[in-house]
Amino acid sequence: MRWSRGLAVLFGVWASASCGGLRAGDAADDTVVILVRHAEKVAGEDPALDEAGRARAPALAHALSEWPGEAIYVSQFRRTRETAGPLADAWGVEPEVIDARDVGGLATRIREGAASRVVVIGHSNTVPALVGALGATEPDQIADEVYDDLFVVTLARDGGPARSVHLKYGAPAPAPR
């Protein structure tokens, strides 16, 4: 199964199940936020992506290629911008840089923003904190060696509770030679 089709099916099933008695049009009014940690990186002060990270970034773009995203938020660090690059190119969207320390400000911006389909590429500590700041149950901090977590948080426009789901995504296996 292709990642993009697999995620599209999971989003569809999850959205249908989590919307209960809502009419189909109502769910479209909700804000859906996808949060991921940046891809694998080399060591250093403001590191770039390593080989695995350079494979994971386009895998994220591929996984979300059929999803109608409208906005991408990244931190000021190179690894988040590089992770967002292929997705931003595919969507024709310029990522907006937000200070990594301003989790509360970003949560407010997402809740009050015009975009209803948002991707946030953050860090092992900021992604769980933002899930919590958006009103969903905050997951544990992401372990240093984990780069494949994908959180989907749905904010109901009617003010109902935030709903979330934790998925995994990965880089495609290399093609046989």
Per-residue pLDDT band for 29 (boundaries 50, 70, 90) equals confident
Q: Which of 62, 34, 46 is nearest to 120 (CA)?
A: 34
pLDDT of residue 6: 46
Q: What is the pLDDT of residues 52-66, one digit of tens each?
A: 999 999 999 999 989
pLDDT of residue 23: 32
Quote the CA–CA distance of 88 and 81 in Å, as a whole number.
9
Q: What is the pLDDT of residues 142-174, one digit of tens each?
A: 999 999 999 999 999 888 899 999 999 987 556
Quote the CA–CA distance of 76 and 96 in Å, as a whole number.
9
> Which class is 3-17+28-168 in CATH?
alpha beta
Quote the CA–CA distance of 19 and 41 in Å, as a whole number.
37
Quote the CA–CA distance of 156 and 162 in Å, as a whole number.
6
Between 55 and 28, residue with greater pLDDT: 55
pLDDT of residue 155: 96
Mean pLDDT confidence for 124-129: 98
Mean pLDDT confidence for 35-39: 98
In terms of DSSP H, where are the helices of 19-125?
Answer: 24-27, 51-63, 78-91, 103-112
Between 20 and 140, residue with greater pLDDT: 140
For the chain, domain boundaries: 3-17+28-168
Q: What is the pLDDT of residues 73-118, one digit of tens each?
A: 999 999 999 999 999 999 999 999 999 999 999 999 999 988 999 9
pLDDT exceeds 50 at position 3: no
Q: What's the one-letter identity of residue 109?
A: R
Predicted TM-score (pTM) of the model is 0.85
